[in-house]
Structure 1
Amino acid sequence: MPIQHGIWKIGDHPQVLTNTTMASEEVLEDLIFKDISILNGNWLLIARQVYTDFGKPLDLLAIDITGSLIVIELKKHKTPRDVVAQTIDYASWVETLTSDRVVQIYEAFAQKFQLPITNFNQAFIDKFRTAPAEDEINSSHQMVVVAAELDASTERIINYLNDKANVAVNAVFFSVFQDGANQYLSRAWMIDPGETEERAINIGQKGDWNGEFYGSFGATYNGRSWNDALKYGFIAAGGGRWYSKTLFMLKPGDRVWVLVPKVGYAGVGEVTSPAIVIDEFIKDGKQLEGHYHTAAEYGEDDADYCVGLRWIKAVPESEAVNEVGLFGNQNSVARPRAEKWKHTVNRLKSIWGIA
């Protein structure tokens, strides 16, 4: 069914706000251009009205921390069939972009719209607090249809593409409400965007998952300590829901191979407890060397979360395995399907003598 929104003003008697229309979808595009978090705060906008090699302008193009490119197409009064077909057509062009071309597209966009940061690498670091990995840029892509109205036909087409064709496409529906001289914008995703992100990664890798989880224990931006992880048996992520949410994929009994970014693989462990906020993890008196974001200080969304592990093999950073050809990913936890991941697990098993 098409999604419907309603907003009520709280008072002695709840007052429903009048649902109105946006002047045009160009206005919505301009709002998203000014603040991409209207769609997703974990995206970096890298292009607006960029012409494809087919001679047609793509409305908006974004990138996330994994290097996945997001094709954003506004409906602009097109029929559902037209807008979805157009979005897929643009995605077929985006899939061909090299990392160099992506950099050029961003820098042309930054210069045209006089953005404060015109260098792609610097913009990526400023947004995600980590440098982009060249071999991950455009390793996958997603499609998002943005509509002022989400009709039943659009919903049916997008559901079919996700369920039957395994296509990473989603839709966002916006409503505008009037309260006197003020207007308010509300947003709803048709499908959980996390599902679309994972679908895009899995499609991009085109392989079977070997049942082994990948974990990243980042310590650069807030001073987490690998020594803490070794001593108390855990991995952690936080600083925003995007970073911590993948920890919740892990369940007791799962096995996870842990990379310390820019250092190497430093451990493999069996999950003993699901993700919990750091405040709960340290309440029994654990003395941590590193600095962690507690929910009490930073709020639950930006707090660090921990997953308990029984280390099967864990080594100090000085003994971490860092070889050319090993898998790397910006996600805190992932289920990689790439051949490189299978090679990585087999190589680490050999080095560490693990069956």
Structure 2
Amino acid sequence: MKSRSFKAPGKALLCGEYAVLRGAPAMCVALNCRAQVTVSKRTETVSIVSTLGFAEGSWRFKIIDESVAWLDQPPEGVRSLLDAACKKTRLTSCCPAALTIDTLAFYSPRDKKKLGLGSSSATTVALVAALQKQSFDIENIWANSKMVHKAFQNGRGSGIDIATSCFGGLITYTSCDTAPPTKTTWPTGLYYQFFYSGIEADTIAAIDRAAGVSEKSWNMLIEHARDAAIAWGSGNVEEILDAMEQYTVSLRKLDLLYGLNIFGAGHQDLVDLAKTTSLIYKPCGSGGGDIGVALSKTKKDIQDFSQYARMKGFMPLDLEIDNNGVIPTIGEKV
């Protein structure tokens, strides 16, 4: 086996978080920070995985009876990912191998904290692509990546992050869909800026907290998630901003009612400021840290808002929409 190397983008969940776990549509966008995984055959009898970004280091392992037998003690994240990949991909047939996992783009250059841009899903997709058979089959990559990531997260999550890393661009996603997600063109005249709160969120803990919300309490959020998806599909900027505001209000009500801390880590301060302007701000994904997004009809509003966000300790991120999903690096063929 020659060396194979693939890159997959990160993501930001624009709306539909939490509601997507109850069957509502969600909007997610791929961003131009990428995880890269390279797999090459080794002549030695022992395989090795090396990481850049997350828990930097190298750890040796063997495949015994189609299971990973670790010769070193890797961090739990590395261990869990490769254990899941061994069960769901061609890892066994590729070994002994050298794997390099590079997620440096997902960490803050300021303090090396994880930004919350979907590094685990991007890594999973890039890894599955690098381990697949020679022909590039995006739907096969998507199906296997969903299985690996679900095992990696002990069954939690909707799969929207995996779909975004696979297909790229702006997507509408429903967890019960078996067909690839619908891709939508980013609306002309809608400006955006993503901000990092400086605090790492715990997505798994947030999902577990939300499990205590009564079924009836989800109804309004689900309704507004559907309205938002329709608005994004229309491409009408006014309708999108109105729908995003309604969704954010519903999300905040649920947050306050059940103490989910979605708007913690300073996000509520930026939401309050946005109410005094013509733009919309909301946390992305599980909230309680990580990132948020500002949306506006004017670039100047975004620029002015960014200055205030910096004063509150938020870092504007130099990120753009990535319309490509998982792709091979130079030298690979699709």
- Higher CA-based Rg: 1
Higher relative contact order at CA 8 Å, sep ≥6: structure 1 or structure 2?
Answer: 2
TM-score (norm 1): 0.26
Scaled by the length of structure 2, the TM-score of the pair is 0.27
